[in-house]
Homo-oligomer: A and B are copies of this chain.
Amino acid sequence: MIKLRDLEYLTAIDKYKHFGKAAQSCFVSQPTLSGQLMKLEEQLGLQLVERHRRNVMLTPAGEQLVKEARKVLQAAGHFESCAKALLDPFAGDLHLGLIPTLAPYLLPHIMADLNTSLPNINFFLHENQTKILLQQLDEGKLDVLILPYLADMDKFESYKLFDEPLMLATPKSHRLANKKELSLSDLHGEKILTLADGHCLKDQAMGYCFSAGAKEDNSFQATSLETLRHMVASGMGITLLPALAAQGNLASDTIQYGKFQSPVPVRGISLVIRPNYSRMQCVRSIVASVRKSLSRIIT
């Protein structure tokens, strides 16, 4: 295998036509350059340099190979400068995965801050259900997920970002619409509208509801939170909505959003990465940025 150093020696000889000066330019002794060049010639099986006391010159083969050598060294130099440019741990592309019940409500609150604190990171956003996100994270297609951390994700590493309260969404006409001091136990006997299977929010929300004695309304399953919200708005039933989705008074004329008193049902939103993920500095910045953004919103 050719060595890059030898190619440097060769180009230096071509430049200086003098072993001593060429060696000096390579910061080695003259015997070193002399010896290595001879080895290279032996290795290639052809003479590259014509040696005379007064006059060193390249053979035709040497001339031609110097051109090739320069190309190789140029490519190697590009490799190194490329590596140097990549040294900035706060630069490059980053693929961020979020679940559908979080992305549209969270992103408006965090992206501005993220782009400010990590100006050289290009965020690519991916919206999918938990299972798919985890698989893509594992495959390396995604770098970072933001989703509720569950026990079965213990092969990954997670950083808690915030707890998102679940709020009760009711039609204005509903009996719970104007109740103060709302508690989970108030759900007893209610039928709850839910999302379709696969959305982790469904499992979490129904977990709270079951334990409170409420039941799932099996007559319909919404494919998105917005569908769910519209169903509540049109009086079809009640549901639990994450705080961020309830915020902003969407359909506030027809829907009442109620806060639960303690124990407040929440879903814990975490940032999830592969263990050994290479850009930990970046991850720490993201965690800090999102926490800061959220602290202004979730009390």
Chain B residues near A1 (CB-CB < 8 A)? 4-5
Q: Are A47 and B78 in contact, CB atoms less than 8 angstroms apart?
A: no
Do the beta carbons of B93 and A60 come within 8 Å of each other?
yes
A51 and B87 contact, CB distance less than 8 A: no
Contact of A4 among B2, B47, B92, B278 (CB under 8 A): B2
C-beta contact mask, A54-66 vs B, less than 8 Å → 1, else 0?
A: 0101111100110
Q: By the criterion CB–CB under 8 Å, are A92 and B140 in contact? A: no
B140 in contact with A57 (CB, 8 Å) = yes
Q: Does B140 contact A50, Cβ atoms closer than 8 Å?
A: yes
At the interface, yes or no: A180 with Cβ under 8 Å from chain B?
no
**A71: interface (CB < 8 Å):** yes
Contact of B2 with A76 in the complex, beta carbons under 8 Å: yes
| Chain B hits for A92, CB < 8 A | 60-61
Kindly identify which residue among B57, B72, B276, B278 contacts A72, using a CB–CB cutoff of 8 Å.
B72
Shortest CB-to-CB span from A10 to chain B, Å, is 10
What B residues does A80 contact at CB under 8 A? 2
Q: Whose C-beta in chain B lies nearest to the C-beta of A62?
A: B278
Interface residues on A, range: 35 or more
Residue of B71, B83, B274 touching A50 (CB-CB under 8 A): B274
Chain B residues with CB under 8 Å of A65's CB are 79, 82-83, 86
**Chain B min CB distance to A198 (Å):** 24
Which residues from B are CB-within-8-Å of A93?
60
> With an 8 A cutoff between CB atoms, is A35 at the interface?
no
Cβ of A297 < 8 Å from any Cβ of B?
Answer: no
Structural contact, B2 and A44, CB atoms closer than 8 A: no
**Contacting pair B7 A79 (CB below 8 A):** yes
Q: Which residues of B contact A58 (CB under 8 A)?
A: 140
Complex: how many Å from CA A202 to CA B78?
Answer: 60
In the complex, which residues of chain B have a beta carbon less than 8 angstroms from the beta carbon of A44?
A: 83, 87
CA distance A59 to B95 in the complex (A): 12
Query: B82 to A46, Cβ gap below 8 A?
Result: no
Chain B residues, Cβ within 8 Å of A78: 68, 71-72
Tell me whether B55 and A86 are in contact (CB under 8 A): no
In the complex, A74 Cα to B71 Cα: how many Å?
10
Judge if A296 is at the interface, Cβ distance under 8 Å. Answer: no
Complex CA gap A286/B7 in Å reads: 32
Instruction: Tell me the A1-15 residues at the B interface (CB within 8 Å).
Output: 1-5, 7
